[in-house]
Amino acid sequence: MNKDTGHSAPYTIAPRPTLFKPGDLVFDIGANIGAKAAEFVASGARVVCFEPQPDCVKHLQQRFANNPNVVIEGAGLAMQSGVMELSICSAANTISTFSPEWKKGRFANYQWDRKILVPVTTLDAAIARHGQPDYVKIDVEGFELEVLRGLNSRVSLLSFEFTTEFLDNNRDCARHLESIGFCEFNAKIGTLDHYVSERWLSAEELFVLLRKSSDPELWGDIYARADILNSPVSASGSSSVLSDLEARKLWSPGKPLRLHLGCGEQIFPGYVNIDYPPDEHNVMQVKADYTANITQLDFPPQSVDEIRLHHVFEHFNRVTALAMLIKWQQWLKIGGKLHIETPDLMGSADILTSNLPWQVKMGTVRHLAGDQAASWAYHVDHWFPERYQHTLKRFGFSNVNTQTNRWPHSPYLCNVQALGTKTQNLSPDQLLAVADELLWESTVAPAEKPTHTVWTQQLRSVLNNVHCGLKNIHIAESASAPTVPSTNPAPVGFPAPPHTAPPVLNSGVLPLDEIHDFNQRCRDRWLQAKALSVPAASRVLDMGAGTCLYRPLFSHCDYKTHDFKKYEGAEKHGGTSAYGHIDYVSEILAIPAPDHSFDVILCTEVLEHVPEPIQVLKEISRLLRPGGRAFITAPLGSGLHQLPFHFYGGYTPEWYKRFSKEAGMEAIEITPNGGFFKHLAQECSRAASIYGQNPQLHGPEAADIYKLLIEILPRLFFSLDDKCFDERFTVGYFVEAVKLNNSI
């Protein structure tokens, strides 16, 4: 008997394993109330929690509220997406299950006293939505095989629970994993944090070992891995790229990692010089240390010290360029350097408008357009100092320095270098919000919204390495949408584009939670974009802050909060009854701060809860300095909530215009949050929730009705919103108001 576990163990104890590294992506399938997820987050992982029990989902939302490294999906996993009946054990929700057989095992004396219908998805679909995980933990009470049958590709490491009474089923799990390329297995017994074998075993060897145990209640977790280190370099495996560099002695842990991307013939000592293989070049004799398509490279977050590119960035179209900046921003450590050199559009314009000879001007044209001697050798976007300054600062780089130079001889080619230092870690949502706003800056009229929608879809496809090869980058400038695969193309850690619909009905392009919760998510993204436009050290007041949801967005500012702290219910964001740290506790019309105290004021989903909303606008104006900005949201219509403090609904554009003006402000932006059909999609999901939790409504077609309400109708209506946009029934408005300089 092993004295640490009480189990009869005919195996040796291996050293404690390392499952993942800080910054890695972990799937927690069967997250329950988040005990394991909390451990993963504490170890530096980004975690996606999958949990079908509504009560547990609420607990997860409360536990990880405002944590940008945790995503929660209220769904189970199975072999196919759809709807399934979940048996809930109220006495021990950790043994709630989809599996009838599980109820016959060691917990047979428990009662599964409730049955509810819940949505289920597949591991393949989850990977398409969230990206390739570095570790997948599966704890689904006897339903492991069905979950694994929804996986048809390898991941770096995966574990699933086993019990001695279901070892035959567990062996079938391993057989499925073998069929898709997993070749090495190990196990941990009970709560021990050590593998049972010092070496990785074949599946057959492992199960022979496990069957030797005489413990009738043996349980634990089986681990499976593919031979990742010997696999080809893949953009989906950020850790494998580092491992490959280490194996080739191009880099070693503990040393700075400096990347020279698109190196061509120019080799920099102390850098990993990366470019296409030599046979992809028609002119240059490339001598790269490492060959790869640089748009499909991937490195772990905060693993790189410096990235530099010389006359490469201009080969990226506007979408790909922003996608690469997003990637590089994530790869770089705080303090990491980004160094880019391209032709200078402004300097070149001076040449073209000068009286210099024709040959000089044509040299400038060639400099701007590229030599076009290979399929990748086209320059498709143009940069200049002001654009670099504007763009890099928006992406969390500070101390952005630009330097222009001109050849001292004919044809006087003009170049610009930009050097930025990463000083902020921005979340995926923040990075996408920045990119979407920068893309909008490339439009020339509001009528170009469909073009902007295409760009935002392309951005997410590039981030997921869909149709983003460097060799045809210039082709992606087409105004038509890219081909979208049948699974969600959202990139690792990134949500789908705000205010956009899937291009094909029922194609599964958007995860359902993006549709069900679009109201909150679009509002959050709008505020993220606004926060990034607020200068550092600005004084910000969040009125009616509640849980202080937006504190992380304004971490670069002097962020203060206000609330009256009288609502005691649990309808605050994240399902909690607790308030965040509140600086000013007072009635909203008597905030104890001097006039003109703040540069920015947030007032989000508050106006419907105050008896005198017009006076609140005047209080906002009092507290703002002249020229200060107010970010305001409120519903046009909503169900009753946070009673007894729900007084109004129906804040219209005319209301904002009229009463902002009376308060000494001008409403410079009033943007609807979706139209009638998105509103209808939201209400269908609400109907599904009510229907699913009321068994007395269920008949023989309950599963079909639930699927209609939870998925089919929401997808249909959501996709119709852009095709037939009706603002009259929007869920609400996003408003920016500016205090006029002549206001008191």
- Going from N- to C-terminal start, the domains of the chain cover 25-230, 238-425, 534-675+730-739
- What are the strands, taking DSSP E only, across 478-610? 539-542, 558-563, 584-585, 598-604
- Among the listed residues 555, 636, 554, 568, the one whose alpha carbon sits nearest the alpha carbon of residue 602: 554
Q: pLDDT tens for residues 153-208? A: 788 899 999 999 999 999 999 999 988 888 899 999 988 878 888 888 999 999 99
pLDDT at 638: 79
Q: Tens digit of pLDDT for each residue in 32-90?
A: 999 999 999 988 899 999 999 988 999 999 899 888 889 999 889 998 888 888 999 88
Q: What backbone torsions phi and psi does residue 653 show, to the nearest 5 degrees?
A: -55, -40
Quickly tell me which residue has 């320059």 as its tokens: 379
Rg (CA), the chain: 28
Give me the DSSP letters along 182-248: --EEEEEETT--S-S-SS-B-HHHHHHHHHT---TT-EEEEEEE--GGGSPP-TT-HHHHHHHHHHT
φ, ψ of residue 138 in degrees (nearest 5): -120, 120
Q: What residues contact residue 94 under an 8 Å CB cut-off, 6+ apart? A: 32, 141
What is the DSSP code string of 406-420? E-SSTT--EEEEEEE
CATH topology (fold) of 238-425 = Rossmann fold (3.40.50)
Burial class, 729, CB count within 10 angstroms (exposed 0-12 / middle 13-18 / buried 19+):
middle
Q: Which residues lie below 8 Å from residue 181, measured CB to CB, with a gap of 6+?
A: 153, 154, 226
CB atoms within 10 A of CB 702: 16
CA terminus-to-terminus distance, the chain: 81
| Percentage of the chain modeled with pLDDT above 70 | 86
CATH superfamily of 534-675+730-739: Vaccinia Virus protein VP39 (3.40.50.150)
pLDDT exceeds 70 at position 485: no
Give residue-wise pLDDT tens across range 583-622: 999 999 999 999 999 999 999 999 999 999 999 999 999 9
Tokens of 22: 């800080």
Domains 25-230 and 238-425 belong to one CATH topology: yes
* Nearest one of 291, 409, 289, 405 to 341, comparing CA atoms: 405
Distance (Å) of CA 724 to CA 295, 636, 681, 718: 36, 19, 14, 10
pLDDT score for 597: 95
Lowest mean pLDDT among 117-131, 607-621, 649-663: 117-131
Evaluate if residue 319 carries a pLDDT over 80. yes
If 0-12 CB within 10 Å is exposed, 13-18 middle and 19+ buried, where does residue 401 land?
Answer: middle
Q: Which residue has the higher pLDDT, 463 or 170?
A: 170
For residue 492, pLDDT beyond 60: no
Task: Report the alpha-carbon distance of residue 190 to residue 135 in Å, rounded.
Answer: 19
474 confidence band (pLDDT: 50, 70, 90):
very low
Residue 571: band (very low, low, confident or very high) from pLDDT cuts 50, 70, 90: low
> Residue 234's pLDDT is what?
31
The pLDDT of residue 655: 94
Residue 279's pLDDT is what? 52
Give the predicted TM-score (pTM) of the model. Answer: 0.45
646 versus 469: the higher-pLDDT residue is 646
For residues 420 and 400, give the distance between their C-alpha atoms in angstroms, rounded to a whole number. Answer: 4
Distances (CA, A) of 595 to 198, 619, 711, 736, 744: 68, 9, 50, 20, 9
Is residue 464 within 8 Å of residue 492, measured between CB atoms? yes
Q: What is the mean pLDDT of the chain?
A: 83
Q: What is the pLDDT of residue 373?
A: 75
DSSP H/E element including 88: strand 82-88
Handedness of CA 571, 572, 576, 579 (dihedral sign): negative
User: What is the pLDDT at residue 418?
Assistant: 95
Per-residue model confidence as pLDDT tens digits over 382-405:
999 999 999 999 999 988 999 999
Q: Is 25-230 a CATH 1.10.10.60 domain? A: no
What value does the mean pLDDT take over residues 702-709? 88
**370 pLDDT above the threshold of 60:** yes
